[in-house]
Amino acid sequence: MKDMYSFLRTNSELDVLIGMEYYVTSTPPIRGKLRKSPEDFQVFEVSRQGIIAINVKGLKVLYDKTRGLYAIYVLSKSNIPFNTMLSWLKSEFGTNNIGMAGIKDTRAVSHQFISIPLSDKVRDNILKSESDGRYIALSFVGFSPKGLSVGGNLGNIFKITIREVNVTRDVFKNVFEKLMHEIRVYGGLPNYFGYQRFGTIRPNTHIIGRYILLGDYEAAIMELLLSVYPHESPRSKEAREFLKETMDFKRALNRFPPSLKYERIVIKYLSRHRNDYKGALLRLPQWLRKLFIEAYQSYIFNKLVSYRLSLGIGLNEVIHGDNVFLLSSGYVRKAERDSDIDELQEYVDLGLARIELPLVGYATPINDTRLDEMLIKILEEEGIDLKLFKEVYPIAPPIKGTLRPLSCNPLLYDFSINDDTVTVTFFMPSGSYATVFLREVLKPRDPFIVGL
């Protein structure tokens, strides 16, 4: 058995709300601000082939060699929500078949690959800009026999600027070096789902998802419409409070601003079909309904990671019931016996394997193991039976469940310090969140205020 650790518990209410309860580093908080402008948070997708979505001219040399069924573009956007981007792409190309490897942060300048089924004419150099500086730009780079799908990238390079830093250059350098050392010692970062998964202004997508799974559609709708969170705009707060006090859907519709698009869809439906909460949910786009369930699935994963850390179990320690992914073969082995644990621990220590935890669904196996005891306790506290992930249809597609790495390792490329501004460039593997790394640096009481 490895050494037992004592990990630092967060003092952020938001972190606890989304199951992200611990830090693996013990470094003191660095005060600073992220995202003073979208350019302070830059994201560059890296394809499976190691191609970075930035140098379009260079990419054309790589992609133009073969003609396939899909056109590949680099999509660049600044401060554009995912649903806005998706609606524009569907309108621009006349298809719902938009392929991409992942959803990028809204409050950022991001560059990623997308695939569009090939039509008679390839589009190039498309730009949609807004008066407030927001934009979407598309550049054609070539063809592919296959479209892109979620998780189909190597990861992302992040160039992050932290402003108004409260320490000197030498202090920051020492803290940062210690932080990176601790991440290596403890087996990486906890591979938590980050704030974007749940929402930072209204961190309740998982709460809505839980109500949907339980079949309490009224509670799901009321959480969507009525719950007020601290960082919402005054107009949004006022609209929600009015509806909560009056439950007059017809009058409330005019008070909810156009930016609350999905609330307005639900309110409009309920003004005509009072108490039909299931019908109201079904008026929402399927991708959003699916997102609610996936957010809750992500919350359970975060809780399971936090449970392990609360027991002082390192991120690279194999315990009874763990799933261990062998990197050379792509095969997953279960640590069922003591001999399995010893052998698989050696693989993990040598960097030949990684521990993976359940991302739960209706087919997630539950056995008499130490890992499953933790999972059972979490599910019992939540009042959730895994079969509900199947019974959720037709509100959302059934979710079978899969595995997700317990830890992730940021690769630091560079950091520079100029007066009170720090710029950090690093790589995160596919599916991992830059904000999980940055929260270890900042350790904020209120992640929203600092820009996480």
Other CB atoms within 10 A of residue 96 CB: 8
Catalytic residue among 105, 132, 322, 385: 105
Quick check: is 105 catalytic? yes
Q: Distances from the Cα of 5 to the Cαs of 22, 91, 180, 433, in angstroms?
A: 12, 53, 17, 24
Which positions are annotated as active-site residues?
A: 105
